[in-house]
Amino acid sequence: MHCHVCGHPISMEWNYCPNCGHKVDKSKFLEDLKRVRDELMHEMDKYTTLKVKKILEPESHVYVRGDNKIYEIIMPGVKSRDDVDIRRIGESLEVRAIIGNKMYFKIINMPRDHYVVADDFEDNVLRLHVQQFD
Ligand SMILES: [Zn+2]
């Protein structure tokens, strides 16, 4: 937290800024706290497994097209790419999508020199275009 007048770092317990002497505006601090809390709750809501009752491994296919490998992940009920979360974790790629109380969850083994160069989503199918770089 910082003084709203001079920007000096201050502690929540203080009533006055030690630098400029202005009264510490705690309402603003509480507003910030509330906003951060709301954002966190929203994030947790998105990823919490509490409301996810069922975890499904989506059907998937891999095929080769030119230099690319295409991973097709079929997730019925998922409406848009925005609902799909793709994360690179070490040598694997995690794909997840939550719809209602179920979550599609897929881990794809992906060596470090392989990269997702493009992805698209159409008719419940996510396509990851993966290429190997030296
Ligand atoms: Zn101050």
> For each of the chain's 134 residues, which pLDDT tens digit applies?
788 889 898 887 888 999 999 998 878 777 877 888 888 887 777 666 567 778 899 999 999 989 899 999 999 999 999 999 999 988 999 999 988 888 999 999 989 899 999 999 999 999 999 999 97
Rounded CA-CA distance 47/88 in Å is: 16
CA of 23 to the centre of ligand 1 (A): 8
CA of 123 to the centre of ligand 1 (A): 57
Asked if 35 and 89 touch (Cβ cutoff 8 Å), the reply is no
Classify residue 74 as exposed, middle or buried by CB count within 10 Å of its CB (0-12, 13-18, 19+): middle
Whole-angstrom Cα Rg for the chain: 23
CA of 3 to the centre of ligand 1 (A): 5
Token readout for 133 is 């770089």
CA of 31 to the centre of ligand 1 (A): 19
CA of 40 to the centre of ligand 1 (A): 29
CA of 36 to the centre of ligand 1 (A): 23
- Domain architecture of the chain: domains with CATH: 1-47 (no CATH), 54-132 (2.60.40.790)
User: Residue 50 has what pLDDT?
Assistant: 61
Left (φ > 0), alpha (ψ -120 to 50) or beta: where does 77 sit? left
Rounded CA-CA distance 74/94 in Å is: 14
Asked if 91 and 112 touch (Cβ cutoff 8 Å), the reply is yes
Token readout for 43 is 């994030």
* Residues 61, 65, 69, 73, CA torsion sign: negative
